[in-house]
Structure 1
Amino acid sequence: MKLNIRTSCENAPKKELIKDLTVLFAAYDISQAMQYLEDDVIWTLVGDEPIVGKEPFAAALMEMAHNKATELTIHSIVTHGKEAAINGEMVMGDGNVFGFADFYEFTSVKGSKVRSITSYVVQKVKSE
């Protein structure tokens, strides 16, 4: 997968963690990603019902794994206290392009485990 990261994460451990998690999710490296999530993590894909727990979270990701990202661009990552946000876009194997924004809540200010993720995903219109 081609990576385009337009933000610096130097000296910012939470930014680095969010960047790494985003790359793991885009690559569907689920076993690696799960180590950073609380057991009762809540994932809300806006427009769908929340997914609660690591196992349902992993299962939902596996359902999407048939169409892997071929390119991931990260535009920005912002962190403050127990919260973080990231936005960017992904080019999928089938050629579709999705813009995304994910909002994270950590279990503590230290930011080692994720309590919840709220994801906004929009398919970009292909120009002719």
Structure 2
Amino acid sequence: MVATSSLAILGVIMPFQSWFDHHDRRWLRIAFFIALASSSAIIIIHTSLVRGVFQTFGWLTPVFKSLGCYVAGVIIYGNQFPEKFWPGRFDRLGHSHQFWHLFVCGGIWYHYQAALQFASFREEFAQCSA
């Protein structure tokens, strides 16, 4: 949780750094945000060992819509679709970065919905087994 929180704080600070926001560092931005999203893997692995794989992934099902939005956004942004195929046509509207933001908003919405569901099921699943 400390690693994820640290990456999240860096994710708020780094986009405002000129070296990070430079066009040549697009690969670094994509890699950074994929690392941030992947940092939850440690928690998922631990929970799978404690609670079992099927129970863990059954409990995490509401998050999959959120992850789908984030992944779709990264794929579109990373491939620079549609502006790569029609240069100059999407400079103001329909740029991959704009689509990425829409997918992030969708991911946030689904993540919020999942958090509400997690809160309602916390008594059943997330109790400390110690």
Report the TM-score when normalising by structure 1: 0.28
Which protein is richer in helix relative to its size?
A: 2
Which protein is richer in strand relative to its size?
A: 1
Asked which structure has the greater CA Rg, the reply is 2
Report the TM-score when normalising by structure 2: 0.28
Greater length-normalized contact order (CA 8 Å, ≥ 6 residues apart): 1
